[in-house]
Structure 1
Amino acid sequence: MNPAHAAMPLHARIQRAIRQLILDGALASGKPLPASRTLASSLGVSRDTVESAYAQLHAEGFIERRVGSGSFVAEMTGFTPGQRRSRRDALLRNQTPNLSKRGASMFRSGGAREILLSRPFTQGVPETRTFPLPLWERLERQVLKEAGTQALLHGDPQGAEPLRKAIADYVNLERGARATADRVLVLTSSQQAMTLCANMLLDPGDRIFIEDPVYYGARRAFDAAGLECVPVRVDRHGIVVEQIMESPRKAKAVSLTPSHQFPTGAELALDRRLALIEWAARYQAWIIEDDYDSEFHYAGKPTACVQGLDRHDRTIYIGTFTKSLFPSLRIGYVVLPPQLVKPMTVARTLLDGHTATIAQLTLARFMEGGHFGAHVRAMRGVYAERLEVLTGLVNEHLSPFVESHVPIGGLQMPCVLTCDLSERAAIDAARRVGIDLLGLSALHAAGSGKAGFLMGFAAYTPAEIEVAVKKLASALQSVALQKRR
């Protein structure tokens, strides 16, 4: 019998086992079942238990009971018993699913990238081992004590007001934004924000300018929505806006990571920010600004966000606490132009209703008490030190293979291959020794990027980074030697 049924009463377990045999075709229509006394003796149960199972099967129409003859599998018109479950499930798994065009596009995108938390150099993962859990737990207890059972009910789909106010205050002060609580929409992630923008602001077939190279999450959201992504080259000053201005075919939006361009780390120059704002106003296009890890800037003070410079309200500002606090918090947000607040809020109710209330209220207290700012400042120092350590170790041990491009901020460092190893060979070699690298070439939409990989450093101590870099150097050396033979 199925182990999942072990907690059921005996008669229910027997009834389900027989029913499954009938559905799988192991017991064909008209086949006689054992007499209740015989089956009871065989199973070591009472006859009443078997009678109860047979009675339920009869009530459901799976068996017929004939006075003086016994019990038989019923004839079920319109139903053809299938193969055994294991064979049937295997066949179904291998079938091409009958998906919609948008569903097929989402499936082809591959979804979110697998996060291998135990492996060094996974990009985009913050340090969580030093997070102030006792403080967070105390604030959560305060929330539950004061809100009581109200915290267990459905929340405001736009987000809890205390958190929306805390977010607005934070981005105004730290990022130079123009935000108010009524313009903030709390979501579960920046990826959800991208999906909402792609589906609410553009139609399938519409054009959107994207950075080249580009953040894979944004590209997948836009592809899944059926948009035509137009890659625009990125240099050391960010996206090359001249290509947008001179494009013969206009687009309805542009997607940017201006604080630390993903994956190059470049900061978008102020004159380019202003030019994009004027372009969006002239053509009534949208600027989708993903400010995914702007808290962690290591060289000087970061430039104000595009949204704060945009007096025309054509910029949608996206932020997340996944990088600044911890991934499982599942809270992101978007600061919207006033005219988009209501339609975006309605749209998110169709996706997941609302974000978890208790986590929102706890985060609001964490921010109101100054703990968020203190945590970010502390981690900024930690990450800056780890970046410095990684840079030195890469230059010392990996210089025969790569050239490091030290970013001004963020949680990962790009490295460009300078040897004759292929990107795939390098990544596979790293994976074999328990190291996770993200290839650079696949992030270039136009397919013209240099081969290399990203090395996430935030979640690993200097000692862990040193061990991993040496292990990676040994793995690459081994592959290079094999290649020469």
Structure 2
Amino acid sequence: MSADLSDLMLVPLDRNSPVPVLRQVYLELRRAILAGVPPPGGRLPPTRTLAARLGVARNTVVAAYEQLLAEGFIEGRVGAGSFVSRDLPDAPEPPPAAAGAPPPPAPPASRRFAGAQAHTGEYGTAPFNTGRCALDERTLQVWRVLTMRRLQRPDPAWLGYADPAGPPALRQAIARYLRTSRAVRCEPEQVVVTAGAQQAIDLMLRVLLEPGDPVWLEDPCYPAVRAALAAARARVVPVRVDAQGMDVAAGIAASPDARLAYVTPSSQYPLGVVLSMARRLDLLAWARRAGAWVLEDDYDSEFRYAGRPLASLQGIDDGGRVIYVGTFNKALFPGLRLGYAVVPWELLEPVRAARLLTDWHPAALPAGVVTDFLEEGHFAPHLRRMRQRYLASRDALAAALREHLADRLDVEVPEQGMKLLARLRPGLSDLAVSAAAARRGLIARPVSPMFLAAPPVQALMLGFSGHEPGALRWAARELAAALAGHDG
């Protein structure tokens, strides 16, 4: 037998590997063929001979040959055996010093996504992490019942493709809820169901922006939106935020012809301030004059602890310039991955098309369960229970911080939301404090990196939702220990 075929028969097999022996034989034979051993047209060993040489069942080798034949690597000739396909090119010469050579660089376009994952920062269950939701036993019980009911009477439509905007019943339920709770003006046809607010924002950027288009962005801002704008190759125009929210006059001065303004008017991220009514009216007036759009991210409005929830910006928009984005991932649980956008009529068809191209349509089963949860009246009691729990956690955290860290930081207790801001006293760096906290198992997000052009504030963002009061009190003591003797 030729040297080439002898090499082919020395396929190394690892009997302790989790990879099945058949798969190992196939992969090694394919590797040898691609390396030109044997070359195109060369004969492979008979299956019986190769099986004996490898110490495996002949059926194993036969199955590996059949897979190679189906994929076009080899061809069979009746009465002659199996041969490497003549359609394969000759094996290329290996590059010099191939071993240890660096991998090829990523294309320049990929740089738009560099670091985007780090901007989210909401993984893990450690104390103070943001975006956490409490597990409510009554809600989970209802969820189990609704899910089992859906599974016991499955709809054949679940198995096929569906409307990119989401099931009509869910869109009707969302529109009814938003009209009642947030004073949003919409018809069910304007609702587009998405995999959370982030996908809704991404869809809007895809539809609205060309590379280089100017976009107003709150300064400081939600880091994930900043990353999404970078990926969309938009030109970010930082607009400072003060006690009244985004400074609209500053935005007009910086870029009067901006294509889009992104705002969090009910609870500015990360500072928590509310966009004043005067600024809201100024923003809407500018959008009408400039032919611009306003993207309203209403990410946690369900959790307001003093008075009724604030009305939406979209609800006072007479010009149809506001795109309203919300989510169930904060109100129920992040793993649900269900959000929505209320889209002006002029944008509806391109947004539906973009939804189809990126994800086609929402998953049918969770969409159906959420529909039942809304329509049967379970959502409002769930929110009342969550507000009570989160209020208790907020107050416990604020009290513990004041008890243990009154000399190191100032606590801002929010009237809405799932996190609070702790401003550090002069001389302390939020980056350094965050790192010290991480060494003690805490996730205290620094706020200064969220600033774009405005002078950064040294502060920590501390989540309290989804964390029990006792755990938060313990975490406050740990944070104090992390800061003990810290000189910034």
TM-score by length of 1: 0.87
Q: Which secondary structure does the structure 2 equivalent of 1:132 belong to?
A: helix
Aligned length: 470
Aligned to 1:342: 349
User: Is 1:14 aligned to 2:21, yes or no?
Assistant: no
Q: Which secondary structure does the structure 2 equivalent of 1:79 belong to?
A: coil
Superimposed CA distance per residue, residues 43-86 of structure 1 (whole angstroms, 9 cap, x where no aligned partner): 433456556656876897868999xxx99999964433769xx9
**Aligned-residue RMSD, C-alpha:** 3.2
Contact 2:296/2:314 (CA < 8 Å) preserved in 1? yes
Tell me by how many angstroms 1:477 deviates. 1.3
Q: Which secondary structure does the structure 1 equivalent of 2:484 belong to?
A: helix
Unaligned runs of 5+ in 1: none
Tell me by how many angstroms 1:35 deviates. 8.3
Of residues 280, 298, 310, the one that matches 1:273 is 280
Cα distance in structure 1, aligned partners of 2:184 and 2:76? 75
Specify whether residues 134 and 245 from structure 1 end up closer, same or farther in structure 2 by C-alpha distance, changes over 3 A only.
Answer: same
Aligned to 1:260: 267
User: Is 1:138 aligned to 2:145, yes or no?
Assistant: yes
Aligned to 1:466: 473
Superimposed CA distance per residue, residues 413-466 of structure 1 (whole angstroms, 9 cap, x where no aligned partner): 111221533222211111111111211011111151112220011010011111
Contact 1:111/1:220 (CA < 8 Å) preserved in 2? no
Tell me by how many angstroms 1:22 deviates. 5.0
Superimposed CA distance per residue, residues 251-278 of structure 1 (whole angstroms, 9 cap, x where no aligned partner): 1221110111101111111121112111
Aligned to 1:186: 193
Contact 1:441/1:447 (CA < 8 Å) preserved in 2? no
Of residues 107, 131, 135, the one that matches 1:98 is 107
Cα distance in structure 2, aligned partners of 1:344 and 1:237? 32
Tell me by how many angstroms 1:333 deviates. 0.3
Residue identity in the other structure for 2:473 = E
Aligned to 1:395: 402
Sequence identity percentage: 36
Of residues 162, 177, 180, the one that matches 2:184 is 177
Specify whether residues 29 and 376 from structure 1 end up closer, same or farther in structure 2 by C-alpha distance, changes over 3 A only.
Answer: same
Specify whether residues 182 and 141 from structure 1 end up closer, same or farther in structure 2 by C-alpha distance, changes over 3 A only.
Answer: same
Specify whether residues 49 and 418 from structure 1 end up closer, same or farther in structure 2 by C-alpha distance, changes over 3 A only.
Answer: closer
Residue identity in the other structure for 2:27 = R
Aligned to 2:5: none
**Equivalent residue runs for 1:224-235 within 5 Å:** 224-235=231-242
Of residues 356, 362, 368, the one that matches 1:361 is 368
Superimposed CA distance per residue, residues 318-360 of structure 1 (whole angstroms, 9 cap, x where no aligned partner): 0000100011111110111111111111111111000111111
Specify whether residues 37 and 237 from structure 1 end up closer, same or farther in structure 2 by C-alpha distance, changes over 3 A only.
Answer: same
Contact 1:22/1:81 (CA < 8 Å) preserved in 2? no
Cα distance in structure 2, aligned partners of 1:272 and 1:352? 36
Contact 1:238/1:258 (CA < 8 Å) preserved in 2? yes
Tell me by how many angstroms 1:407 deviates. 1.5
Contact 1:144/1:151 (CA < 8 Å) preserved in 2? no
Superimposed CA distance per residue, residues 238-259 of structure 1 (whole angstroms, 9 cap, x where no aligned partner): 1122213444642122111011
Tell me by how many angstroms 1:33 deviates. 8.4
Cα distance in structure 1, aligned partners of 2:51 and 2:350? 63
Of residues 80, 83, 93, the one that matches 2:92 is 80
Specify whether residues 263 and 130 from structure 1 end up closer, same or farther in structure 2 by C-alpha distance, changes over 3 A only.
Answer: farther
Tell me by how many angstroms 1:198 deviates. 1.4
Specify whether residues 113 and 300 from structure 1 end up closer, same or farther in structure 2 by C-alpha distance, changes over 3 A only.
Answer: same
Cα distance in structure 2, aligned partners of 1:64 and 1:225? 48
Contact 2:116/2:224 (CA < 8 Å) preserved in 1? no
Cα distance in structure 1, aligned partners of 2:421 and 2:170? 34
Contact 2:216/2:236 (CA < 8 Å) preserved in 1? yes
Superimposed CA distance per residue, residues 295-315 of structure 1 (whole angstroms, 9 cap, x where no aligned partner): 001122233101000111110
User: Is 1:157 aligned to 2:164, yes or no?
Assistant: yes
Specify whether residues 205 and 17 from structure 1 end up closer, same or farther in structure 2 by C-alpha distance, changes over 3 A only.
Answer: same
Cα distance in structure 1, aligned partners of 2:154 and 2:69? 51
Cα distance in structure 1, aligned partners of 2:239 and 2:464? 28
Residue identity in the other structure for 1:20 = R
**Equivalent residue runs for 1:372-387 within 5 Å:** 372-387=379-394
Worse-matched range after superposition: 40-49 or 287-296: 40-49
Superimposed CA distance per residue, residues 130-156 of structure 1 (whole angstroms, 9 cap, x where no aligned partner): 462221121123333444322222221
Tell me by how many angstroms 1:96 deviates. 1.7
Residue identity in the other structure for 2:458 = A
Cα distance in structure 1, aligned partners of 2:196 and 2:421? 24
Aligned to 1:223: 230
Contact 1:164/1:182 (CA < 8 Å) preserved in 2? yes
User: Is 1:44 aligned to 2:46, yes or no?
Assistant: no
Specify whether residues 230 and 80 from structure 1 end up closer, same or farther in structure 2 by C-alpha distance, changes over 3 A only.
Answer: same
Worse-matched range after superposition: 424-433 or 260-269: 424-433
Aligned to 2:7: none
Cα distance in structure 1, aligned partners of 2:113 and 2:352? 23
Contact 1:206/1:251 (CA < 8 Å) preserved in 2? yes
Q: Which secondary structure does the structure 2 equivalent of 1:302 belong to?
A: coil
Cα distance in structure 2, aligned partners of 1:52 and 1:382? 60
Tell me by how many angstroms 1:233 deviates. 1.2
Superimposed CA distance per residue, residues 391-422 of structure 1 (whole angstroms, 9 cap, x where no aligned partner): 11111112232221222211111112215332
Aligned to 1:325: 332
Specify whether residues 40 and 286 from structure 1 end up closer, same or farther in structure 2 by C-alpha distance, changes over 3 A only.
Answer: closer
User: Is 1:196 aligned to 2:203, yes or no?
Assistant: yes
Specify whether residues 227 and 63 from structure 1 end up closer, same or farther in structure 2 by C-alpha distance, changes over 3 A only.
Answer: closer
Aligned to 1:421: 428
Residue identity in the other structure for 2:266 = S
Specify whether residues 237 and 87 from structure 1 end up closer, same or farther in structure 2 by C-alpha distance, changes over 3 A only.
Answer: farther
